[in-house]
Structure 1
Amino acid sequence: MVSATRPTPLHTVDSHLSATDQASLLNGEILMQTRSHSLIGAGVTARMFLPTPRPQAWTQLTHYPSWTQFFPDINRSEVLSTVDRSSSVEHRLHQTARKDFFLLAVQVEIYMKVTETQDQRLRFQFERGSFSDFSADLTLQDYGPGTILTYSVEATPLIPVPSLFIQEAIRHDLPSNMRQMRQVICAAG
């Protein structure tokens, strides 16, 4: 007798997700929560289901030059240095992006440290660039034959753009960027 692989219940991934949210994730939707961060900054947490195993997703996500394929606004993503520690790997990254906000085109640049916890978490820490602060966490958790990816980011730009405009731009752009990320990761598998 062959037993079917049953997905790990999502409540083990996040106990705050309703049954409707769980079904939405499995149907390919991107779940998002935006929030204010500082006076002119914004924060967002986005979740999606990847129909690929966590190690495969990890391999794609930690190939940082590929981030230009995940997020079309990023036009450069390069690793400047790498330090391999016993429990984690740290990289220094440099990324540039161009974003059109309504009638304004903005070019941004960021240098950051990325700490990798094998197959589970990427923590992005701001060093310098076009923001007064920036931090992000990307976590991967098994879900049956696939993976739940959770991406949380908080940033405050140096350009004084009201938080409401930044949240609206995120609400508009991030779901399509996350779907693009899923498409690239799945195509590589």
Structure 2
Amino acid sequence: MTLSFKDLNNPIPDLTWSQQKALSQGEVLVETRSHSSWGGAVTAQMYLPIARSSAWQQLIDYPRWVEYFPDLTKSEVLHQGQVKHLYQVAQKSFVFLTAQVEIYLNVFEVEGKHIQFRLEKGTFNDFTADLKLKDFDNGTLLTYSVQATPNIPIPTIFIQQGMQMELPRNMRQMRQVLCAA
């Protein structure tokens, strides 16, 4: 999964040479930021040593997302069409507390390049996610951005810390599943 120095001379805009090198060595790059007074936002990027078309076909198999994200217990397509409707349930255990969230999403796809997830309804005040794919070396650069505000007041710092710790683990799991197919 390592890129050659030659490949890193063919840069991806908006990424430094050191970021591209880190990605090529399997690191997941994560950037968190504030989003509303009780929410958080995060962007994660990773390199997939598979063709973009292969990654795309697997990523639009939404019921399979339970394999990518361990806390996701259900991912079901309710309606197929130009706009897909997706229902997802996740469960997260904390020390003495288990929280369950459910979300109904409108899903917009730009074939082979971009998936947008927009909140229809659920246990969030707001939720958006964007997944983008770009060719990178002999594989694919996957960029996943999420911003969300839960409907229970949790300080932003805790939301951001949770996202920063959980998303890289989830992304590594996603890469493992995608590349094993």
TM-score, normalised with respect to structure 1: 0.89
Aligned position for 1:119: 112
Task: Please say if residues 31 and 48 of structure 1, whose CA atoms lie closer than 8 Å, have aligned partners that are also in contact.
Answer: yes
2:99 maps to 1:99: no
* Superposition pairs of residues 150-169 of structure 1, within 5 angstroms: 150-169=143-162
C-alpha contact (below 8 Å) 2:23/2:47 kept by paired residues: yes
In the alignment, which residue of structure 1 is the partner of 2:49?
51
| Counterpart residue number, 2:11 | 11
Q: What's the counterpart of residue 69 of structure 2?
A: 71
- The answer for the alignment partner of 1:185 in structure 2 is 178
The 2-side partners of 1:104 and 1:166 are apart by: 16
Aligned residues: 177
Distance in 1 separating the partners of 2:9 and 2:149: 35
RMSD: 1.6
Structure 2 unaligned segments of length 5 or more: list them: none
Can you list the C-alpha shifts for 1:24-66, whole angstroms capped at 9, x where unaligned? 0000000000011000000000000000000000011000011
1:52 and 1:160 map into 2 onto residues whose CA distance is 40
Hey, what's the Cα distance between the residues in 2 that align with 1:137 and 1:8? 25
Report the equivalent of 2:19.
21
Could you report, residue by residue, the CA deviation over 1:88-143 in whole angstroms, capped at 9, with x for unpaired residues?
Answer: xx210000000124543210000000101000000001000000000010000001
Contact 1:10 1:22 in 2 (8 A): no
Distance in 2 of aligned mates of 1:62 and 1:10: 28
Identity among equivalent positions (%) equals 49
After TM superposition, the score normalised by the length of structure 2 is 0.93
Distance (whole Å) between structure 2 residues aligned to residue 26 and residue 176 of structure 1: 17
1:18 deviation in Å?
Answer: 1.7
